[in-house]
Structure 1
Amino acid sequence: MGPDFRDEETFFSVFAIFFPAATGILAGANISGDLADPQSAIPKGTLLAIIITGVVYIAVAISNGSCIVRDATGDDNDTMLGSLENCTDAACTLGYDFSICKKERISGEITCFLNLMNCFCEVMSLVSGFGPLITAGIFSATLSSALASLVSAPKVFQALCRDNIYPGLHVFAKGYGKNNEPLRAYVLTFIIGLAFILIAELNIIAPIISNFFLASYALINFSVFHASLANSPGWRPSFKYYNKWVSLSGAVLCCVVMFVINWWAALFTNVIVLALYIYVSYKKPDVNWGSSTQALMYNQALSHCLHLTGVEDHIKNFREPNSSNISPCLYLSFRPQCLMMSGYPDSRPALVYLVHAFTKNVGLMICGHVRTGYRRPNHKEMMNEQVRYQRWLLKTQIKAFYTPVFAEDLRQGARFLLQTTGLGRLKPNTLVVGFKNNWRDGNMKEVETYINTLHDAFDLQYGLVVLRLKEGLDISHIQGQEKTPAMKDLLVSVNIKDFDSDSSKPSSKTTSCQSSPLIFKDTKSRPAHLSPADQRLLTAGQQFKKKQHKGTIDVWWLFDDGGLTLLIPYLLTNKKKWRDCKIRVFIGGKINRIDHDRRAMAALLSKFRIDFSDITVLGDINIKPKKHNKEVFQNMIEPYRLKEDDMEQEDADRLKAQEPWRITDNELELYRAKSNRQIRLNELLQEHSSTANLIVITMPLARKGTVSSALYMAWLDTLSKDLPPILLVRGNHQSVLTFYS
């Protein structure tokens, strides 16, 4: 009474042929756009269709099995005249011996057609009251199933093409008529269907179709499970008995059945699906589906942030180098979490690209922007700007966050950012700013605000990094010329060929491109009317975006600030664009101990496992600078001196209170040695590092409240003037280079 599979057929090979009959489950979902109430109609209609067709299929199988035997010749002379002892078939109970049918099947000469095994197309006609009615029903069912697929599949394909995910498919996104019918997709579907029909063998076609249907059902089930796992508030299934583990079981079962039916076809299908997924992941199309992947990423990010918050600081992150437990194993475990005062990110590209170079895949990078002015921007305007420049960062492949704030002045806004930016342990610990090149030409109140912002960073235990380029950093005045025709090419795109102008493509990319001002890549196509200074400024703005030529990163480690001055060059040389640059270390020392200091420093760097090409001990660092350079420094600070000897003491005190940035005579005399030191350091920098790709030097400190802003700016200016790109670095005296034993 059990199954009797023959000719190497198995349950799963028969299942593969039958399965396409049960693939109309998604017919309603595929045309959901045409339904008045899809939320109610799809589950009710689908479940009702499954119940009705399931009952019909089972009833047909039972009725056929009840009316027709497995083997029969159709000849009345097969009646058994002898004993029934050797007869084992079901027909034996009816007094018939059809054993000849089995013998014929073995020999290959089949004459038994009136049975379940060999009558492929006439079984229903045999048991029906009117045979032609069955033929008409088969034709109608085939036509309805084909039409359902021909209508639903092109609509799904059209939606896929609209997103412009895969190249060349956008031509099928075009719709026609009032209902936006995908005629081009209809034609493509017809051609594919015709190609399979021409195979003319149902037993060959059905397993192929079953394989792809099972793959699609596996993906749908897994998508449902994934959406449930992400726990998104927007995922609210209305089905009462829904369970995510049933969905996962269905996905696994579909995959298993695929391989059981035909392993090589299943493998081929999975390779195609995986290739399509990898392409989408790599291409990152400019679409927003609100997918469960995004929801799960959010869940995981939130969970990890909360987990980090509950983890105590590990001793290797904060133990001092002079710990009693010391070994040559290096842990550069400090991560530079940088808050960069960039303004609009595209207005200071050199600053953005350099900071990204040593924070990429290592630490946090936040582009802080303090907006000031009399008119407070509304919330919508601020949000639009945030989206716009975050998109710019994504387009330029810079892993950073853009955070704008509105404040009365730079210092207040910087305080907001310093105190509130970050989430848990993902909080900045280093402030990065550009050097104020025009400090002598502007309002000294702005200089006072700038210096006070640096002091605020130190007060809040931030490390500090100041970048200076002799050409400058800010190109916003050039971008302000965007309205002139000659400048339009400057701000349109990094690479215009990335954006196809075909009008049939979706407009999302065009919109995002236009809303994100990207600095152009090709320096040869710059507008001819730019001044030479602006030409040099634009070139300098792109220098850290390119691969650095063979050269050096000169580290002037003059004070122990925790090691940040040494950590940044180390992180840079680990990046592909800076790999050809070697680290040279310069330290101060005494003339009679140069060899000893060099060996000690080499041993220290070896314990830290930091590769270096040379160590230079400067024994002449404390000698007096040249007279000419001292005169240049005096001329620089002359306009900012208080000159209290030329006025009454009361007037001098009043002027100092009104203009606290002014330099008093006592202050100048008290810090004369430190001023001379900055002049001398610049002379040494000019001598030793004038050809370096980048200079990283320990930043001099000024005691808050005792050193005026003008004098401190003069120190920084004198130290860093007329040099290659230079980073002035000062850590918060927390060790970032540790080693154990």
Structure 2
Amino acid sequence: MLLFFLGGAYYLISRSLGPEFGGSIGLIFAFANAVAVAMYVVGFAETVVEILKNMDALMTDDINDIRIIGTITVILLLGISVAGMEWEAKAQIFLLVVLITAIINYFIGTFIPIKAKEPYGYFGYDGSIMWENMGPDFRGETFFSVFAIFFPAATGILAGANISGDLADPQMAIPKGTLLAILITGIVYLGVAVSTGSCIVRDASGNVNDTLSSQFLANCSDAACKFGYDFSACKREKDLCKYGLQEDFQVMSMVSGFGPIISAGIFSATLSSALASLVSAPKVFQALCKDNIYPGLSMFAKGYGKNNEPLRGYILTFGIALAFILIAELNVIAPIISNFFLASYALINFSVFHASLANSPGWRPSFKYYNMWVSLAGAILCCVVMFVINWMAALLTNVIVLGLYIYVSYKKPDVNWGSSTQALTYHQALTHTLRLSGVEDHIKNFRPQCLVMTGYPNSRPALLDLVHSFTKNVGLMVCGHIRMGYRRPNFKDLATDQARYQRWLLNNECKAFYTPVFADDMRQGTQYLLQAAGLGRLKPNTLVLGFKNDWRDGDMMNVETYISMIHDAFDYQFGAVILRLKEGLDVSHIQGQGMKDVIVSIDTSKDSDADSSKPSSKATSLQNSPAIQKDKKSPTVPLNVSDQRLLEASQQFQKKQGKGTVDVWWLFDDGGLTLLIPYLLTNKKRWKDCKIRVFIGGKINRIDHDRRAMATLLSKFRIDFSDITVLGDINTKPKKEHTLAFEEMIEPYRLKEDEMEQDAAERLKNSEPWRITDNELELYRAKSNRQIRLNELLKEHSSTANLIVMSLPLARKGAVSSALYMAWLEALSKDLPPILLVRGNHQSVLTFYS
């Protein structure tokens, strides 16, 4: 069973269904309790006014006297409530004694037949009276209109739950108290209904002369005729009869042994219920405000004294109650709160059903006869009754609940209550993932599911933002991070970082998963992720890397590892994507100086790894000038020009792309991934103003034919494009100066085996496998020239593009050295706008059929 704390029913709903439902219904439940105070006080005031009327002692008139007496009463009740729970408990005990005495007094009176009471409709217990009263006799009312007025009499059963914070053992006391309350009140209500219906007729004149002579007895069929009274005139002229069950609201006083005790009992019942509601509403409201679901109401969360009394909540409840007391019509107030209470009870029932449906191991109801379908039936019944009573009020109540729900959902309060909503989400995710695993992949349902090697997610924002642009709401995105270090791996810190950076992704509205692993080197870590990342069908199928801009500055074995990662991706049947920005991607070295929203509440000072992408523990925002402030106390630290450009470039995909182009250079048939990514990208809000231009290779004498063929193909794929360019001169030799620049770039990485002994050359090649042999260079000269020529064409046609998407050239594994392949990528993509090199795994990802 769910443990109760401060807030009772609100606590149950919010902790079961989450803050969205809890916050919306909690506000309505607190308001309903506040209005209930007014209803009970008006009921009390009506009885007092009735007594004053009988004594001819009215102060003004009926309505205004109810307002005056109600106002005085609610002020006195407020005083008792503010005095503390001790005084409230003592008052409730006293009122309970009076109420029990009144009930006993009534039942005793029903067994004492008094001749003087017969003209008022009381004849003692008789089967004929009970039978006559058994059927319905609504006069200007319906069953549900009467139900709406009576229903608030049953709302007190949650009074114990509402003050759960003041109970010594709420988990034990609330179930017992609530069940006993239902049982006892049910018996009392039914007992009173049956006893009154068995000894009092519906209509009576109160006139002792309305007797029936024996000669007319045969023509009289009413139950009163048996006792010598004829009240048939009441049916013809209803205004003549002021007594009986239908007309006399003080009928219990008339029947009882001593009438004034019944009045005292009415006072006790109404005042005790008013007092309970006056205490419940502020307690529920205080619990709601303490959770800070509605930040503007946090002032009401403050408590005073040793019992943390919500004095501000008492004042607010008093104000609401007073406003409704001024209506002074019990039959108007009762239906209002009936809808609010029914909405609350519907959600209480639904929350219990929902917890069972979620099948969470933490949900362990202790009630022996609990059944989830009974809870659902209760919830449905409450909703149905709401609309039957008053469909307009029910509709308004639901609109208010929905409005509050949408507000809380939009604000996303930072709470984790282990709600059944979370449990059900997990249950559904598990079920659907297993179901999905039993279905074969189909080309129509292909989605790019990307394993993005970001390191810490905030260290390469451009890579994260671009991939997120075409995977958001379409495919899976996993941010892979390989943690390397010479010290012993600290798996506890790894788990902490995993949770911390996952939260950062959520806070930045990035729909991705962060998956770190420990490994000895980058290649091993990538292999781990390629094999193990994801679950069932929710597994990556595309590896996304950032281009290694500094490949010529560091250890060339890192380049060997980098190229091996690309080959491993193809070996594991992955596609490969490489993003290059001429300014670079990694901004980890300037975090804390200029990164906007670098990290949210993350302190990595305990991190055991010397990772270059470790963020600063301070989250700062980008300033208007290049001078960026680390924190409020430190002096400004100016960024150098290179870092400033890097910072600006890293945030370019966070902005809306203006009217520009996404240039697709589709040079190889890789299954269609090179076309699919730009299509997905331009469907997003930030990229929708960009047009797709397609560039393909061809022959000069077939340009028109190739253009038409490509246009037909794209039309069949239903991919919009603005232009198709056939490059007839793609196989032309590159300019000599560009060829010389390429030769100069690869010069330091050549093996030059002709200038050394064969054994020495083999030893050097084995120790430095990345070196380029003369034979290899000659064998792949045409391919090298092709990359240089493509770069010339890219600068000529796509220098102003927002993004270039181009087929990634492949190198045969083991045949082309990593240095030569890296040089190809460098020559192909240097000095260009952002370029995305894409290569599918030759699995078809586009189809003509929808």
TM-score (norm 2): 0.79
Measure the CA separation in 2 of the matches of 1:439 and 1:312: 41
> Are the aligned partners of 2:569 and 2:576 in contact in 1 as well (CA < 8 Å)?
yes
**Residue 509 of structure 1 aligns with which residue?**
none
Aligned residues: 696
Q: Secondary structure at the match of 1:701?
A: coil
Measure the CA separation in 1 of the matches of 2:627 and 2:350: 51
After superposition, residues 412-431 of structure 1 pair within 5 angstroms as 412-431=524-543
After superposition, residues 590-601 of structure 1 pair within 5 angstroms as 590-601=699-710
**Residue 123 of structure 1 aligns with which residue?**
251
Measure the CA separation in 2 of the matches of 1:519 and 1:634: 45
CA offsets per residue over residues 503-537 of structure 1, 9 Å max, x none? xxxxxxxxxxx999767466558616111211111
Among 371, 383, 399, which residue is 2:511 paired with? 399
Among 259, 265, 270, which residue is 2:393 paired with? 265
1:259–1:516: structure 2 CA closer, same or farther, 3 Å change rule? farther
CA offsets per residue over residues 354-374 of structure 1, 9 Å max, x none? 101111111111111111111
Among 109, 114, 137, which residue is 2:243 paired with? 114
> Are the aligned partners of 1:493 and 1:520 in contact in 2 as well (CA < 8 Å)?
no
What is the percentage of aligned positions where both structures have the same residue?
Answer: 77
**Residue 674 of structure 2 aligns with which residue?**
565
**Residue 503 of structure 1 aligns with which residue?**
none
Once the two structures are TM-superposed, the CA of residue 293 in structure 1 deviates from its matched residue by: 1.7
**Residue 585 of structure 1 aligns with which residue?**
694
> Are the aligned partners of 2:596 and 2:622 in contact in 1 as well (CA < 8 Å)?
no
Among 433, 453, 460, which residue is 2:572 paired with? 460
Counterpart amino acid of residue 119 in structure 1? D
CA offsets per residue over residues 116-147 of structure 1, 9 Å max, x none? 22221x22221222222222222222222122
> Which stretch has the larger CA shift, 342-351 or 173-182?
173-182
Counterpart amino acid of residue 147 in structure 1? L
1:144–1:194: structure 2 CA closer, same or farther, 3 Å change rule? same
Q: Does 1:654 align with 2:763?
A: yes
Q: Secondary structure at the match of 1:76?
A: coil
Q: Secondary structure at the match of 1:170?
A: helix
Q: Does 1:339 align with 2:472?
A: no
> Are the aligned partners of 2:596 and 2:619 in contact in 1 as well (CA < 8 Å)?
no
> Are the aligned partners of 1:346 and 1:519 in contact in 2 as well (CA < 8 Å)?
no
Once the two structures are TM-superposed, the CA of residue 85 in structure 1 deviates from its matched residue by: 4.2
**Residue 816 of structure 2 aligns with which residue?**
707
Measure the CA separation in 1 of the matches of 2:408 and 2:626: 33
**Residue 282 of structure 1 aligns with which residue?**
410
After superposition, residues 151-170 of structure 1 pair within 5 angstroms as 151-170=279-298
Q: Does 1:553 align with 2:686?
A: no
After superposition, residues 121-270 of structure 1 pair within 5 angstroms as 122-270=250-398
**Residue 590 of structure 2 aligns with which residue?**
478
Once the two structures are TM-superposed, the CA of residue 295 in structure 1 deviates from its matched residue by: 1.4
Q: Secondary structure at the match of 2:157?
A: coil
Measure the CA separation in 2 of the matches of 1:103 and 1:136: 35
Measure the CA separation in 2 of the matches of 1:288 and 1:34: 24
Unmatched tracts of structure 2, length 5 or more = 1-131, 602-614, 629-636
Counterpart amino acid of residue 783 in structure 2? K
Q: Secondary structure at the match of 1:432?
A: strand
Once the two structures are TM-superposed, the CA of residue 660 in structure 1 deviates from its matched residue by: 1.1
Measure the CA separation in 2 of the matches of 1:163 and 1:727: 47
> Are the aligned partners of 1:567 and 1:736 in contact in 2 as well (CA < 8 Å)?
yes
> Are the aligned partners of 1:558 and 1:587 in contact in 2 as well (CA < 8 Å)?
yes
Q: Secondary structure at the match of 1:356?
A: helix
1:490–1:570: structure 2 CA closer, same or farther, 3 Å change rule? closer
1:566–1:335: structure 2 CA closer, same or farther, 3 Å change rule? same
> Are the aligned partners of 1:214 and 1:255 in contact in 2 as well (CA < 8 Å)?
yes
> Are the aligned partners of 1:388 and 1:516 in contact in 2 as well (CA < 8 Å)?
no
> Are the aligned partners of 2:795 and 2:832 in contact in 1 as well (CA < 8 Å)?
yes
CA offsets per residue over residues 360-389 of structure 1, 9 Å max, x none? 111111111111111244233122211221
Counterpart amino acid of residue 223 in structure 2? A
Q: Secondary structure at the match of 1:436?
A: coil
Once the two structures are TM-superposed, the CA of residue 286 in structure 1 deviates from its matched residue by: 1.7
CA offsets per residue over residues 544-566 of structure 1, 9 Å max, x none? 11111111111111111111111
> Are the aligned partners of 2:458 and 2:599 in contact in 1 as well (CA < 8 Å)?
no
Q: Does 1:309 align with 2:418?
A: no
Q: Secondary structure at the match of 2:663?
A: strand
1:366–1:242: structure 2 CA closer, same or farther, 3 Å change rule? same
Q: Does 1:449 align with 2:582?
A: no
Measure the CA separation in 2 of the matches of 1:59 and 1:525: 83
**Residue 322 of structure 1 aligns with which residue?**
none
**Residue 749 of structure 2 aligns with which residue?**
640
Q: Secondary structure at the match of 1:739?
A: coil
Measure the CA separation in 2 of the matches of 1:621 and 1:288: 59
> Are the aligned partners of 2:626 and 2:639 in contact in 1 as well (CA < 8 Å)?
no
Measure the CA separation in 1 of the matches of 2:302 and 2:769: 68
Among 145, 161, 165, which residue is 1:29 paired with? 161
> Are the aligned partners of 1:392 and 1:517 in contact in 2 as well (CA < 8 Å)?
no
Q: Secondary structure at the match of 1:83?
A: helix
**Residue 9 of structure 1 aligns with which residue?**
141
Counterpart amino acid of residue 541 in structure 2? N
TM-score (norm 1): 0.90
Q: Secondary structure at the match of 2:517?
A: strand
> Are the aligned partners of 2:457 and 2:479 in contact in 1 as well (CA < 8 Å)?
yes
> Are the aligned partners of 1:347 and 1:476 in contact in 2 as well (CA < 8 Å)?
yes
CA offsets per residue over residues 66-109 of structure 1, 9 Å max, x none? 3432222222111123503443332111111123333442xxxx
> Are the aligned partners of 2:544 and 2:577 in contact in 1 as well (CA < 8 Å)?
yes
1:638–1:667: structure 2 CA closer, same or farther, 3 Å change rule? same
Measured on the aligned residues, the alpha-carbon RMSD in Å equals 2.1
CA offsets per residue over residues 264-314 of structure 1, 9 Å max, x none? 111111111122222223332221222222211111111111111111334
**Residue 604 of structure 2 aligns with which residue?**
none
CA offsets per residue over residues 137-177 of structure 1, 9 Å max, x none? 22222222122222223222222222322341222222233
Counterpart amino acid of residue 239 in structure 1? F
Unmatched tracts of structure 1, length 5 or more = 318-330, 495-513
Measure the CA separation in 2 of the matches of 1:40 and 1:27: 15
Measure the CA separation in 2 of the matches of 1:215 and 1:525: 56
Counterpart amino acid of residue 113 in structure 1? K
